[in-house]
Amino acid sequence: MPVKKKPSRRRKKRPSSKLLRPGIIIPGIFLIGLSAVFLFVLTVYLGAFGRLHSREELLGLRSVNASLVLSEEGRIVGRFFSENRTNVAFGQLPPHLIDALIATEDIRFYRHNGIDYRSLVRVMIKSVLLNDASAGGGSTISQQLVKNLLGRENYGLLTLPVNKTKEILLAYRIEKALSKEEILTLYLNTVSFGENVFGIGAASWRYFNKRVEYLDVSESAVLIGMLKANTFYNPRMHPENAIFRRNVVLGQMQKYDLLGTAEGDSLRGLPLELNYLNLESQNPAGYYLVQVKREAQHILQEVDSLTGANWNIEEDGLIINTTLSMDLHNMALKAFQTHMPHMQKRLTDQYAGAAGQRNLEAIARREITRMNMDARANDTIFQRTFRWEGSYNESLTVLDSVRKAMTLLHGGLLAIDPESGAVRAWIGGIDFISQPYDQVLARRQLASAFKPVLFAAALETGIDPCRFYDNDSIVLVDYDDWTPVNYDRTYGGRYSITETLARSLNVPSFNLFLETGYGPVDTLWRKMGFSFHLEYHPSLALGTAEANVLETAVAYATFANGGYRVTPYSIESIMTPDGETIYQRPDNLSRTRILSERTSMLMNFMLQKAIDEGTGISLRNIYRVNLPLAGKTGTSQNYADAWFAGYNPGMVVVSRTGASSRAVHFNRGADGSGSALALPLVALTLQDVQQDRELTGRYGASFPELPMALANILDCPEFEERGIFDRFMDIFKRDQIQIDIEVKRPETEPAEERPSLIRRIFRRRN
């Protein structure tokens, strides 16, 4: 029998596992991922996340550029900017700076077209897949440039991939549009260096106070090192970090044979040497820059209206050439730093005693009431307090804050060219950051600094310069028993005009005012450019009129230049970044004569005497300033303000000091007079001037000699005694004085009813 075969059990076929093998699945995932990346890039390219800039638009992109303000010596005084950036040309970039950048940021920069595929793959594998934070970045210099120019937008979870993709695409376009040199230049002009500083040009000035072309290898390495993290590697804030990063940059340069081994090893051992200059917070000419910006904006408005241009002072990189003599300005600043702390200590000590504290308490509370802040007097506030030794932040009550502010001694100084009106030095205060109010523009009582205006007006009316005026004390009953008082409280005799001005005698000055009259004084005052309206009162002769330092300097320039009024200015020219001049100050401006040459020469003679023999003599015998100089001191009532104006044909310099409130002041002339408080600021400045041969030649010009006719007119005694006959005639002269005072009142001020002649005689006191 045939053997039955067992039915075979056939297995079902299983699907092949070859498709699931790693060798097949990984390429599949890769292809899917690659397709997804391609679709994502295509989506970005087509504008799903915003239209990409075209090649032409990229060529039109430029970074904003700060306008530079230069002194007459060509030094940077400051910048005006929305972003602190000073663009430089490729030719200004040192080769070692370029080497440091390429070695650190993009070693294949010259071999790729904006996309470094090798770095891109490294980032994808190490940084993305392996999560290796030390793998470094993959952005080329061109991609970083795109980010600097366009910034990054927010797309939520897709923010980073969208922005990176845009940067890659636009970097490729930039490489097609610009040369490698242009890309490097644009990149270094746009990158941030922290502290609101953009571009290598501004960074070079900020951290090393030099132009970029003068950077050495170590300095270049410090700045390039900051690109990785401009705060963490800031050489001012974190010097140890900056040194470490500098050495990394130097090592990269050695690695790629861009720096010799021996030189690199030597540089890594050097200490960090900064020459930090922050012109925004530490600018020695901060007050002056405010005036320059105001003047420049006015000029640019006129230029725009004539040319149709639209210049932006904060973005267009203009070059503003000013009149400022940085050497003279710094000498004046040094004088402030020498003299003012010493006087501040004296004022502080004066109010430190029990009586001074009580007085200050009352003054401070009145000020708080005036500001309607009584309810907040004991509230705690946080403020920056100025001190000459160094400012600091502190918390204190409103009342204590007002006390400190009231006892702070302020000051201003201005120097101008009397021929042109060019500003040579402008010290507007003690600290621009905490005390921004410009003391050069603060209007205060002129005191005896007003007297030259009175004397010049008198000479213009024809009064003989050798006329003598009484120095006897008088009381004006019709003016609330007001009486002119000499500073030294000495009386008697009669003084010539010259001696009266030199010694700043009040009583003879008052008598001169009575003879001259209000009208001629007011007319000359307005012609000289003062803005304060003169109030008619006998005390006007002693200087109750108010003015600021700028107006006073312009007035004294009239004496120095032979009788012409000048207009102060600060800008000589404005140029574009390419060097094209868009504004040049005319040098043939007409001048207006407001004084005769004869009067100005006589005033120069009398005011030189005030320096050589009168109230300004300390400039000669204490400070040893021997430059040709005329001038006048001024001390207002109760020593509230101190003035000094000095000049010669090459320079006018005026200083004023005082506390913010007239109620706070020195209590003795040895501290608060014009010769003690204001004159030293000018004297210390001129001490340094006469040590510099070039400045001495400019600012030490001699006065022209007096013609023989004028010299003969001034050849008279300075003082004479009064006889018995003169005293007898006083009875009738004083009656005439009373009549003159009333007759010469302005029409807007009605005359009072006069008492009888006999009554007036016996109510006057000698």
- Half-sphere CA count of 87, side-chain side, radius 13 A: 22
Top CATH class, 33-268: mainly alpha
**Residue 126: per-residue pLDDT:** 52
Quick check: helix, strand or coil at residue 752?
coil
| 69-128 residue pLDDT tens | 999 999 999 999 887 788 888 999 999 999 999 999 989 899 888 887 777 776 666 544
Asked if 471 and 491 touch (Cβ cutoff 8 Å), the reply is: yes
State residue 613's pLDDT score: 94
Which tens digit of pLDDT belongs to each residue from 324-351? 999 999 999 999 999 999 999 999 999 9
Query: Residue 757 pLDDT more than 50?
Result: no
**How far is the C-alpha of 447 from the C-alpha of 77, rounded, in Å?**
34
Q: How confident is the model at residue 728 (pLDDT cuts 50, 70, 90)?
A: low
Domains 33-268 and 410-572+588-720 share a fold: no
**Residue 660 CB-density burial (10 A; 0-12 exposed, 13-18 middle, 19+ buried):** middle
Three-point CA angle 367, 548, 600, nearest 5°: 155
Distance CA 156, CA 162 (A): 10
Contacts of 9 (CB under 8 A, 6+ apart): none
Residue ranges of the domains in the chain? 33-268, 410-572+588-720
Query: Closest by alpha carbon to 553, among 426, 398, 715?
Result: 426
Residue 81 backbone phi and psi in degrees, to 5: -155, 155
Least confident of 23-27, 583-587, 747-751: 747-751
| Angle 226-232-234 from CA coordinates, rounded to 5° | 55
* 85's tokens: 């950036």
CB-based contact 719:445 (threshold 8 Å): no
Q: With 0-12 CB in 10 A as exposed, 13-18 as middle and 19+ as buried, what is 302?
A: exposed
pLDDT in tens, 236-256: 999 999 999 999 999 999 999
Q: What is the mean pLDDT of the chain?
A: 86
pLDDT at residue 271 tops 70: yes
DSSP of 277-320, one letter per residue? --TTTS-TTHHHHHHHHHHHHHHHHHHHHHH-----TTTB--EE
Contacts of 754 by beta carbon, 8 Å cutoff, 6+ apart: 478, 738, 742, 760
Beta-carbon contacts of 318 under 8 Å, excluding residues fewer than 6 positions away, are: 67, 68, 296, 311, 574, 575, 576, 577, 582
Supply the pLDDT for residue 347.
97
Alpha carbon 87 to its chain centroid, in Å, reads: 22
What is the tens place of the pLDDT at every residue in 305-320?
999 999 999 999 999 9
In the structure encoding, which two tokens stand for residue 158, read together? 């897709």
| Rounded mean pLDDT, 430-448 | 95
* pLDDT of 27 above 70: no
The residue type of 358 is R
| b/e code 725-742 from CB counts within 10 Å (16+ = b) | eeeeebeeebbebbeebe
- Topology (CATH) of 410-572+588-720: Beta-lactamase (3.40.710)
SS3 content of the chain, % helix, strand, coil (to 5): 50, 15, 40
pLDDT confidence of 722, banded at 50, 70, 90?
A: low
- Reference 21, options 12, 29, 32; nearest CA is 29
Neighbours of 295 (CB within 10 A): 17
Sequence-ordered alpha helix ranges (H) in 593-654: 597-612, 618-621
Which candidate, 677, 664, 638, 636, places its Cα nearest to that of 402? 664
Nearest CA among 700, 455, 420, 431 for reference residue 561 = 420
What's residue 114's pLDDT?
A: 81
Q: Parallel, antiparallel, or unpaired: how do β-strands 197-198 and 319-322 relate? A: unpaired
Q: pLDDT at position 745, please?
A: 42
Mean pLDDT (whole number) for 44-64:
68
- Three-state DSSP at 393 gives strand
Quickly state the pLDDT bin for 32 (edges 50, 70, 90).
Answer: confident
Residue in this structure with the two tokens 């002649």, named with its chain if needed = 757
Distinct helix (H) and strand (E) counts, the chain = 28, 21
Helix axes 549-560, 597-612, angle to 10 degrees: 110
DSSP 8-class letter at 421:
-
User: What is the rounded average pLDDT of the residues 547-573?
Assistant: 97
At 729, is the pLDDT very low, low, confident or very high (cuts 50, 70, 90)?
A: low
- The pTM of the full predicted model, rounded to 2 decimals, is 0.80
Confidence label for 738 from pLDDT (cuts 50, 70 and 90): very low
- In tens, the pLDDT along 647-694 reads 999 999 999 999 999 999 999 999 999 999 999 999 999 999 999 999
190 pLDDT more than 60: yes
What does the alpha-carbon distance between residue 137 and residue 371 come to, in Å, rounded to a whole number?
Answer: 58
SS3 state at 648: strand
What is the pLDDT confidence band of residue 34, given thresholds at 50, 70 and 90? low
- As a whole number of angstroms, the distance between CA 764 and CA 241 comes to 82
Contact 476, 538 (CB under 8 A): yes
Statement: residue 278 has pLDDT above 90: no
Question: Rounded mean pLDDT of 482-510?
Answer: 91
User: Taking 70 as the threshold, does the pLDDT of residue 133 lie above it?
Assistant: no
Nearest to 357 by CA among 293, 403, 424: 403
Q: Who wins on pLDDT, 380 or 740? A: 380
**Least-confidence region, from 118-122, 178-182, 342-346, 587-591:** 118-122
